[in-house]
Amino acid sequence: MKKKKTPSTFMRRVFQMPRRSWLGWLWRMFIFLLLTAVTVVVAAAAVIYIEFSPGLAEVPSVADYHPPVLTEIFSAEGVLVGEFYAERRKVIPYERIPKRLVQAFVASEDSQFFDHFGVDLLGTARAAYKTVLAKALGSGSMQGGSTLTQQTAKAIMIQAEGYKTATAKTLGRKLREAMLAFRLEAALSKEEILYLYLNNVYLGHHSYGIQSAAENYFRKGVAELSLAQMALLAGLPQAPSKYSPFRNPEDAKRRRGYVLRRMFEEGMIGEAEREEAEGAPIEVYGVEDVFHEFAPYYTEEVRRYVVERWGNPALLRGGLKVFTAMDAEKQRMAQEAVLQELLSVDKRQGYRGPLKRVEGAQAQNELDEQVKKVLAGKPLKENALYIGRVVALGGNGQWAKIKIGEEEGLLPLAGMRWARKLNPDQYYPNALISKVGAALRLDDVVVVRVVEAKTLFDKAPPEEFERAAEGTKAWLKLEQEPELQTALVSLDPHRRYVVAMVGGYDFDANEFNRAFQACRQPGSSFKPFVYSAAMEQLKWTQATVLVDSPIVYDDTENETRWKPANYGQNFVGDVTLRTAITLSMNIPAVKTFIAVGVKSMEEWHARFGFTTPLNSDFSAALGSSCVKPIELANAYAVFNRGGLKTPSWMVRKIEDRFGRTLEDHTAYDDVWAPLTDRMAAGYAALFEEGERVLSKETAFLTTDLLRSVVREGTGAAAQALKKPAAGKTGTTNDSFDAWFAGFTQDLVTVVWVGYDKNEHPLGRYETGGRAALPLWLAYMKGALEGYPQSEFMPPPDANLLRVRIDKSNGLLASSGTAPRDATEMYFVKGTEPKQQTSAKGEMDSHRFFMETP
């Protein structure tokens, strides 16, 4: 017989209800419903897990957790010059975070943090209920209820899934956040979770993490924060904008008080500490905008290089450390020289008129109030620029009174004699104005500079000016925003560093970098390449005689005729090559170019590293083919280095976030570089001599020619440097471009001055020697102060000798040759003249004569 199955004892007790016990029945029903509920909850949890867990971010290990961090760019000395980031974050180890700062965040954000298992069930349930209710009512809002662990989970999800998905106002997103919070609690310690949280929390004003926030608000590291400052930071996560100490200091102070009260209630601080911190004023300073304030053109060019080389994600999220070749002091001097000298050249072009006119009491009062607001009660500062309104003209046209907010200053004629009408054909010294009324009218709005009276007058101000100045607060000069632009590139030719670079007058107004991006005609600054080609390829010498006489070039294909002329429109006949370049004569340069040949010159041009094409006509001899200032500087550095071409670097070294070297261009004698970098560079230098472009003999001969340009030619103003220098001026047709390219033993610097658009030329006589060389000189004086520069001497192993030559004919000077008619010239041995000059000054066979091409 088959045995009957019987229920278990437990089940019999549950379901066999005694007829006489209704209480037992209720008990059994309760147990049944409880089991059913547990089953439903477990099933629901399983369904939720299966539904929402796929793709959930992995729990990071502390060692492998690498959130986006900012990239920092430094000068050679270690000065911070730029930051780039998607999220401004600096990761700081938990051990370096002050205990009080941790307590402040725990007290204000999650006082049960060290006791719970990651999720505030009651808060989450309440948030879920309100969310469902809000959706039912159509408001679509999502309620909070997050522990520090949940906030950390949310930050991890943002990095894994993107901000939009990880912050969606949905119940599903909240459930995924809770799941990840559980996982975090299971895998990490409380301290490790705090490490992740405190380095990720957003605290407003681009601050991600407490270190970044400490810098952004207080310009401090976290270890330097006071209790009041810690409490202020801990009050920000709930609403960074609302509690911003910059925008809403009173709200920030109330929130700080709440944090301090919670710390006191939790026994983390005493009453005295709380009262002292609550009484502290809200003082924030904001992180410095080092990019715009220090060297924006240089730093931006470095940014472009890093993006091109390593990609934008690495720049914005990778935490790179970029050590540039920029010498911070030289960079500052370059920028000061640009500001000072470009204003001078621009003024010589003439006055472009007032900013505007304000007529009528209402418009005048509005302007005065705007200026007053900008001044913010501060006194007028010497050498600062201000906007003012002309309120009086007097002294028989000798002065104007300028109202600056509530203050008045006196602008004498001596502070604005330059303000003639624009006319590039007028010679500046002959066009100075004699009355202020020639440039100013009442109610003109102008730019003025506060100066000392002694800068306006040779002696003390005349009595009539002193009387006019009574009641005013400052002596003034008239200024205007330059329309002219400039580029300056300075290289250390031996370390191969770009030590300073300025790409224009004002980066904020125009980010176009003329040093790297502009292609301008170099004019006569290109002639050294023509003459070096002739010496290298044709074996010409400094004494080769050229005929400075008219030349005509007919282009039958285009039916045009080109007749070059010298700057002074005169011809002097026979001249040595040395004299031709010293005085920057055009005809000899064209004839030399013809002798070398267009094709040969194209190849020669490319060998020096120019990437822009050379014009295939004879005008290229006079610099008609555009070049970039950085390339011209690199090309001149070839002469300085004795004929070797090497790249010049703006970036010395790049490290990733872990300190690993990505690229390194350190020079072995760089005093700012770590010893390990210098040792590695010394070894690398054994195999990186550079590409030889021309012989060391030709390189020195060209340098010596450029030395003569400074000693006695168009670059003579560079002698004010009081250090041995070589260089060449450059001026294009109609003075649209002015250049000076020059160098000492340790520094190669190129300066360009001109207009971005050639709407009109520079003023009359604004040559490279007048417009560009003073800027070069102002920079070089400061950059080389305290650094002796030796004279240029032939390389010890060069096959050169020095001979006394008659300048009139290129022959050996005789005993009877007058000192003023002779000069010392260098020659490659065997190429020196063999014939001595006679009384008649006869020519030797080294004479080069050409009438037609």
d(CA 697, CA 848): 22
Residue among 644, 633, 643 nearest 748 (CA)? 633
- Which SS3 state, helix, strand or coil, does residue 444 take? strand
Residue 843: in which H helix or E strand, if any? none
d(CA 473, CA 381): 10
Told to judge if 524 belongs to the known catalytic residues of this protein, a careful annotator would answer yes
Catalytic residue among 75, 207, 244, 524: 524
Residue among 493, 746, 796, 490 nearest 638 (CA)? 493
Task: For 482-496, give the DSSP string.
Answer: ---EEEEEEEETTTT
- Which SS3 state, helix, strand or coil, does residue 235 take? coil
- Residue 784 tokens, joined: 């080389």
Told to judge if 109 belongs to the known catalytic residues of this protein, a careful annotator would answer yes
- Characterize 213-239 residue by residue with b for buried, 16 or more Cβ atoms within 10 angstroms of its Cβ, and e for exposed: bbbbbbeeebeebebbbbbbbbbbbee
d(CA 102, CA 191): 10
- Which SS3 state, helix, strand or coil, does residue 164 take? helix
Catalytic residue among 72, 83, 87, 109: 109
Are the C-beta atoms of residues 741 and 623 closer than 8 Å to each other? no
Residue 170 Cα distances to 132, 201, 239, 363, 458, angstroms: 9, 21, 20, 54, 78
d(CA 252, CA 15): 64
d(CA 325, CA 652): 5
Task: For 499-547, give the DSSP string.
Answer: EEEE-SS-TTT----TTTT--B--GGGGHHHHHHHHHHHS---TT-EEE
- Residue 395 tokens, joined: 């002294």
Residue 263: in which H helix or E strand, if any? helix 249-265
Q: How many helices (H) and strands (E) does the chain have?
A: 26, 27
Indicate which residues carry an active-site annotation. 109, 524
